[in-house]
Amino acid sequence: MKILLVEDDIDTRTYVSSGLRAKGHAVDESGDGNEGLLRACAHDYDVIVLDRMLPALDGMSILKKLRGCGTQARVLMLTALGDVDARIDGMEAGADDYLGKPFALNELIARLNAISRRSAHANSMTLLRVGELELDLAMQRVHRAGKQIHLQPREWDLLKYFALHADEVVTRSMLLEHVWGFQSSPHTNLVDTHVCRLRSKIEREVGPRILRTVRGEGYMLSVKQGH
Amino acid sequence: MPLKVNVHVGARLRSAAFRLAVLQALLFALIALTLFLVSWFAARHYIENQLRQTIADEFAEVIAHPAAQRAGSIRRSLAQVPRGAYDYSLFDAHHKLIVGDIMKEPTPGWSTIEQDEGPRDGKDLVRRILVFGAVQDDGNTVVVGRDLASVDQLDALLKSVFTWAGLAAVVLALVGGMVTAGSYLRRVEAIADAASRIAAGDLAARVAVTGRGDEFDRLAFSLNSMLERIQSLVEGLRQVSNDIAHDLRTPLTHMRQRLEAAMEEATSVEAYGKACERAVADVDSVLDTFAALLRIAKVESRQRREGFADVALSALLERLVDDYRPVMEDEERPFTAAIATGLHVHGDALLLTQMLVNLLENGLHHTPLGTPVSVKLDTTEHGCRLVIEDAGAGIPSEERSRVLKRFVRLDAARSSPGSGLGLSLVAAVADLHGIALALGDANPGLRVQLDFPS
C-alpha cells in the first residue's frame, strides 16, 4: 500500500512509519497539516493516516479539504486518548475509521488493511464467497456448499465483517467498534464467545480451520493455508 | 477612623443607588416646579377674574348714576371712612382729572397701572392697580380700579410655600436615596466580601441570607448554590487527583520493579521479551484507567446533551441481551430477560449502551460462575424502569453510595482486575440523562434500578 502519514509528534511518526515500512508498505511522512494536505492532493495514496491534533491545520479541516480536492484515498484518523466524541465527529467529516492513541502497531495495520481500496469495492457487492461459504448480502443468508446455515443476527454481522475482510487480520477492538458499536472493551470475553459460536456453525468438524485466531492480534477468515 | 468614613461616603457617592437618588431628587424638584407653576397660574387667573368681576360691578354702579351726579358720587365714595377697596376717577374729554385718586387716565378697557403714592414709612410706595375705564355719553371717562396688593401677596406666599416645599422634597429625596443606597450597598458589600474570601481560598464562605425573600436573598441563594457546586467539584477534583496518584502508583511501581529485575537478571532475549510484555501490560492498564477517567470527565462535562436523540431503549436492550446470552450460557448462568417492547427514551445511544454494558459486565465480573442474572424493563407512571439483578454477594448497604465514586473497589473485588471506574461511568451517564440510579438488595445479590424520565 502507498501510505501518507501526517503526524506532528516525531517519535510516533518514526515508530509508525518504520513499522509500516517493515510490513512492506511505501510510506510518505509529513509533520504539519498544510504540507500534509499538499502531499495528499498531489499524490495518489491508498490510505492517509491523519492525526487529529496538528499544528497550523488540524486533522478535521484537512479531512474536509481532502474531499474537496478529489482524492480517493481512505482516511484513518488518529485521536487523543479517551476522546469519545472523536469517532462521531471524524466519521461525519468523512474519515473511514479512527484509532485512539496510544495504539498497538498491529491494530493500526489491521485497520489500514480493512479500509484500504482493496476491500472498498466490497460495499457494492451482493454476493461474497470465501471458500465453500457463500454470503448473500441482500437476503442476509449464508450457505456452505449449497446448504443454508442459520445464524443469529449478531453472528451474521460478525461473519459479514470477517468475509468483507477475508485474508486480513481483524482485531477485537475493530469487531467491538464495527460490529457491536461499543466504545470501550468489555472485561468479559464477549467477542471470543461469539467468534467461537460462529466458528462452530461455519466450520466443518473435520478439515482445516477457516476462522483462525491470530495470537496477540485477533482473528482472520481465510481459506488460504499457512497464512 | 476618619479615613474609613471617607471611604465609606465616597463609595456611597459613587454607588449606583446614590446616582438614582440624585435623579429621583431632580425629578421631585421638577414635579414641585410644575405643580407650583400650574397652581400659581390657576390661582392668579381665578383671583384676577374675581377682581375684574367686582370692578365691573362697581363700575356698573358708578355709571348707573346720572352723568351730572357721577363726580359727586365718586367724591362721596372716596371720602368714606374707612376708605373702600376701590379707586375711582373721572376724566373729562380732554383727559383732565375731574375727581378721583387715579391720577393718569388709562387706556380704555382693562389695564394694570402703577401709581406712585409718594413716600410712606420711609420709602416710595408704588401701588399696582387693576383698572377699567370707559368713555361715557357725556364725553367723560369713568375709571374704576382696585389695588393688586392682595394678588401680589398671594403670589409671594405661593412662591415661598412652593420654594420651601420643593427644597424639602429634594432634601428628603436625597436623604432617602442615601439611606436606600446605604442599605443596598451593605448587602452588595456582603456579597463582595464573601467573593473575596472565596478568592482568598476560603471555599466554605457563603453569602448571608437575610430571610426577607427579596431579590438580594434570591441572588444570595443562587450564589450559594453555585458555590456549593464549585466546592463539591473542587473537592471532587482534589479527591480524584489523590486517587489517581494512589491508583497509578501500583502498576507503575510493578513495572519499575519488573524492568529493574529484567536489567539485572534477564540473560536471554526471551526473558527480556517477557519482561517487556509484562511492562506493556502494566502500561496498558494505566492507559485504560486514563481513558476511563477521561470518558467520565467528558460525560460529566455535559457537552453530550447537545447530541441527544430518540433512542429505542427496548430494541437496544434486546440486542445487548442477545449479545450477552452466549456469554451467560458459557458461564452456566441462568439468565432471564423480561423486556417491555416499544419503549423509547431521549438520550445518547452510545452512552446508554456503554452504561448497560458496564452494568451487565459488573454482574458477570463480581459474581461466581453459575450465578443467575436477570434483566427487566417495564413502564412506570413517570417513564420506564430497568432493573438488573444478580444473585451474588451484593454490596453492603453502607457501601452502596461509595461504590459509585471513582476508584472505589470493595475489598472482595481487589484481587480481580478492574479500575473501580465502571460504576462511576454508569453514575455519570445516568446523571447526564436524568436517570435515577439506585443500588439495592436483590436478596441475595445486587439490585440496580434505573428510573428513566419520560
- Express each pLDDT in A87-146 by its tens digit: 677 777 788 888 888 888 888 998 998 888 555 555 667 888 888 889 998 888 999 888
The minimal CB distance from A193 to the residues B326, B353, B365 is found for: B326
Interface check for B273 against chain A (CB to CB < 8 A): the answer is no
d(CA A184, CA A82): 9
Residue A41 distance to chain B (closest CA, Å): 33
Residue A188 distance to chain B (closest CA, Å): 7
Q: Going by DSSP bridges, is the β-strand pair A97-100/B123-135 parallel, antiparallel, or unpaired?
A: unpaired
Residue A105 distance to chain B (closest CA, Å): 13
Contacts of B417 in chain A (CB under 8 A): 187
* Interface contact B322-A193, CB threshold 8 A: no
Q: Residue-wise over B338-368: b if at least 16 C-beta within 10 A, else e?
A: ebeeebebebbbbbbbbbbbbbbbbbbbbbe
Sorted by sequence, the CB contacts under 8 Å of residue A27 that are 6+ apart come out as A3, A4, A5, A17, A20, A21
How long a stretch of residues is chain A?
A: 227
> Rounded to an integer, what is the distance from CA B91 to the centroid of its chain?
79
Residue A153 distance to chain B (closest CA, Å): 9
Whether the CA torsion B349, B350, B356, B357 is positive or negative: it is positive
Residue B231 distance to chain A (closest CA, Å): 26
d(CA A17, CA A40): 16
Q: Which of B274, B298, B323 to mutate to test the interface with A (most CBs of A within 10 A)?
A: B323
Could you list the beta-strand ranges (E) of B97-250: 97-100, 109-120, 123-135, 141-147
- Find the residue in B nearest to A103 (Cα): B284
**Could you tell me which of B386, B379, B353 has the C-alpha nearest to residue B454?**
B379
- Find the residue in B nearest to A186 (Cα): B361
Provide the Cα torsion A16, B278, B420, B356; round to 10°: 60
Using an 8 Å CB-CB cutoff, list residues of chain A that contact chain B: 81-85, 88, 100, 102, 152-154, 180-184, 186-190, 193-194, 197
Q: Which pLDDT does position B430 carry in this prediction? A: 93
The minimal CB distance from A152 to the residues B292, B293, B322 is found for: B322
Contact B198, B206 (CB under 8 A): no
Interface check for B306 against chain A (CB to CB < 8 A): the answer is no
Residue B305 distance to chain A (closest CA, Å): 12
Annotate B132-147 with DSSP letters as a single string.
EEEE-TTS-EEEEEEE
State phi, psi for B440 to the nearest 5 degrees: -140, -165
Contacts of A102 in chain B (CB under 8 A): 287
* Interface contact A194-B326, CB threshold 8 A: yes
Could you list the beta-strand ranges (E) of B349-419: 373-380, 383-390
How long a stretch of residues is chain B?
A: 454
Peptide bond into A208 cis (omega under 30): no
* Interface contact B350-A181, CB threshold 8 A: yes
Phi/psi-derived region of residue A100, left when phi > 0, alpha when psi is between -120 and 50, beta in every other case: beta
* Interface contact B350-A100, CB threshold 8 A: no
Query: For chain B, which residues score pLDDT lower than 70?
Result: 1-13, 15, 17, 304, 411-419
Contact B90, B140 (CB under 8 A): yes
d(CA A166, CA A159): 10
Q: Which pLDDT does position B364 carry in this prediction? A: 87
d(CA B389, CA B439): 10
d(CA B169, CA B165): 6
Q: Which pLDDT does position B7 carry in this prediction? A: 53
* Amino acid (1-letter code) at residue A16: V
Q: Which pLDDT does position B56 carry in this prediction? A: 92
Contacts of B290 in chain A (CB under 8 A): 81-82
* Interface contact A88-B298, CB threshold 8 A: no
Q: Which pLDDT does position B4 carry in this prediction? A: 47
Read off the DSSP letter of residue B88.
E
Residue A40 distance to chain B (closest CA, Å): 31
Read off the DSSP letter of residue A47.
E
Contacts of A216 in chain B (CB under 8 A): none
pTM: 0.63
Tell me the pLDDT of chain A averaged across its residues: 85
Q: Could you list the pLDDT tens digit for every one of the 227 residues in chain A?
A: 899 999 998 998 999 999 999 988 999 999 888 888 888 888 888 899 999 888 878 888 888 888 778 788 889 998 876 666 666 777 777 888 888 888 888 889 989 988 885 555 556 678 888 888 899 988 889 998 888 999 988 899 999 999 988 888 999 888 988 888 887 767 678 899 999 999 998 887 777 788 999 988 899 998 876 54
Residue A46 CA: distances (Å) to CA of A120, B266, B300: 11, 43, 39
Sorted by sequence, the CB contacts under 8 Å of residue B292 that are 6+ apart come out as A82, A184, B419, B421, B422, B425
Sorted by sequence, the CB contacts under 8 Å of residue A13 that are 6+ apart come out as A5, A7, A29, A31
Residue B307 distance to chain A (closest CA, Å): 10
Q: Which of A184, A195, A196, A197 to mutate to test the interface with B (most CBs of B within 10 A)?
A: A184
State phi, psi for A152 to the nearest 5 degrees: -70, 155
Stated as kind and residue range, the H or E segment containing A5 is: strand A2-6
Farthest-apart Cα atoms in chain B, separation = 159
Contacts of A84 in chain B (CB under 8 A): 295, 298-299, 350
> Rounded to an integer, what is the distance from CA A16 to the centroid of its chain?
16
Contacts of A85 in chain B (CB under 8 A): 298, 303-304
The minimal CB distance from B330 to the residues A82, A100, A193 is found for: A193
- Find the residue in B nearest to A182 (Cα): B354
* Interface contact A154-B319, CB threshold 8 A: yes
Q: Which pLDDT does position B417 carry in this prediction? A: 61
Interface check for B291 against chain A (CB to CB < 8 A): the answer is yes
* Interface contact A190-B307, CB threshold 8 A: no
Residue B280 C-alpha cell reads as 506493556
d(CA A162, CA B305): 35
Write the ipTM: 0.78
Strand, coil or helix: B59 = helix
Residue B293: exposure state from Cβ atoms within 10 A (0-12, 13-18, ≥19) = buried
Residue A177 C-alpha cell reads as 467498534
Strand, coil or helix: B172 = helix
Q: Which of A79, A83, A84 to mutate to test the interface with B (most CBs of B within 10 A)?
A: A84
CB atoms within 10 A of CB B177: 21
- Find the residue in A nearest to B362 (Cα): A187
Stated as kind and residue range, the H or E segment containing A23 is: none
Residue B215 distance to chain A (closest CA, Å): 41
Q: Which pLDDT does position A83 carry in this prediction? A: 66
The minimal CB distance from A184 to the residues B307, B354, B418 is found for: B354
* Interface contact B293-A187, CB threshold 8 A: no
* Interface contact B322-A100, CB threshold 8 A: no
**Through-space distance between the first and last CA atoms of chain A, rounded to whole angstroms:** 19
pLDDT digits 0-9 by tens, B403-433: 887 777 776 665 566 667 888 889 999 999 9
